[in-house]
A and B are shown apart, each in its own frame.
Chain A
């Protein structure tokens, strides 16, 4: 729910456990308490998509038996798999452009046991018009960071399970050329297309590819997107890393992004997501400003985590059982 500062302060002072997203000017005014937060001025509220520096998006976490908050840097971020509760959910927030986010993005898919521990998260950001600094907050100490990840571990009651899922409007066409990359990287110069080495930027230019359409990888029927961030001086940069030994194709062109997004929302059929986040590119290309997408409300983010970092995706968690 989107609320005013004084209401957020009241909830914290009452001892509620909260996940909070807001502009930094509001987050820095919050008292210490059982909360974590990250910066963004974009949200999907009950009344629709909204840009605001005046309200905070707050999830109250009233379904956990215990919570624990930890802060990690790039050298210890994967302690996450050791420090989480056996039956729980980890909510992870990392600042956009930070080394810890890059490390997590590149290495998470290879971390043993990560899939055993439901992990949902997002990349904090800022106003795209004015830029700024992405931050995360550990509310238990009242400290903010631009170079650390904050994680809230939730212990769930026996018999209750956190189920993470996502909504993605993109798919590939299996007859399209397969693109391979040599390394796990956030920026590349070359790749192979159907086995032939090419300069990737040149390939995109020659084929006239609309880079609003991400690269997609088929993970057994679940499509993971990698969005193109920029093409400069013969290099292509991404919002999430590409991985070696993964088959990529450019997503099939979606002509009416907003309509397709709404259709997929309808199909997903989640009943009661306890937390969700949606990509800033969906917000922009899907023209979500002012549009309602119930039951999904939450921060609009610079990257989404469903175990690993994703792009152009809505990620959500339901507690089932």
Chain B
């Protein structure tokens, strides 16, 4: 993942940026990751890895959402 996009994703997980996808599973994953990171900031890397796995599996989602996140 592009470092700038990754930084924005980290902000989304910390609740500092708001991003809503049109993809239901991606929104559920963001919610789950945000909850984990808020409870334990040390879980950030695990959550990022999970997100990367999700996006690698669903390139259709990755293409649209990563581009949108980059523009936040």
Contacts and interface: CB of A to CB of B under 8 A. Distances in A.
B35 A115 contact: no
Contacts of A220: 19-21, 27-28, 30-31, 34
Contact of B54 (A116, A161, A163, A165): A116
B49 interface: no
Contact of A116 (B27, B30, B31, B57): B57
A115 B60 contact: no
Interface of B: 19-21, 23-25, 27-32, 34-35, 53-54, 57-58, 60
Contacts of B29: 115
B53 A115 contact: no
Contacts, number: 45
A75 interface: no
B28 A307 contact: yes
A118 B20 contact: no
A124 B58 CA distance: 30
Interface of B is mostly: helix
Given A320-B60, A321-B60, A164 B32 contact: no
Contact-residue bracket for chain A = 10 to 19
A222 B24 CA distance: 7
A222 B32 contact: no
B14 to A, nearest CB: 14
A115 B20 contact: no
B23 A115 contact: no
A234 interface: no
Given A220-B20, A245-B35, A320-B60, A307 B30 contact: no
A306 interface: yes
Nearest to A245: B35
A157 interface: no
A267 to B, nearest CB: 12
Interface string A219-260: 111100000000000000000000001000000000000000
Given A109-B32, A115-B32, A116-B53, A164 B25 contact: yes
A164 B24 contact: yes
A219 B60 contact: no
28 contacts: A109-B32, A115-B25, A115-B29, A116-B53, A116-B54, A118-B25, A161-B58, A163-B23, A163-B60, A164-B24, A165-B23, A165-B24, A166-B24, A219-B27, A220-B19, A220-B27, A220-B31, A220-B34, A221-B20, A221-B21, A221-B27, A222-B20, A222-B24, A222-B27, A222-B28, A245-B35, A306-B24, A320-B60
Contacts of A320: 60
Nearest to B53: A116
A116 B21 CA distance: 16
